[in-house]
Amino acid sequence: MQETRQARICRMLQKELAAIFQAQTRMMPGVLVSVTRVRISPDLSICTANLSVFPSERGEEILKNIQASEKQIRYELGTRVRNQMRIIPELRFFIDDSLDYLEKIDELLKK
């Protein structure tokens, strides 16, 4: 279970990462990237973010682009939270496919 400090930092990182992705996806019409969950290690050195991508068909392509520009995203995150955090955590991104899973379950239940 996460402590209160970790939970606050996760919420802050989720908010800032969402703002970064919103600014980046403005250049790509028809694509929406949202940060669904952020977890941080107890020593605050590793941040794991789950991303939801719309349309989901382009999820792998967008995840590869995000992972390629991970250092740039970390730098921008650092400029946004430099007054709240001493060390900017290493970022790891994963696709959150829970919405696709829910759609499949709905389709099976309708049959």
Nearest CA to 38 out of 16, 63, 60, 61 is that of: 16
Cis amide prior to 89 (ω within 30 degrees): no
CA angle 101, 12, 10 (to 5 degrees): 55
How does pLDDT run along the chain (111 residues), one tens digit per residue?
Answer: 458 889 999 999 999 999 999 988 888 888 888 899 999 999 999 999 999 888 888 888 888 988 999 999 999 999 999 998 889 999 999 998 777 777 788 888 887
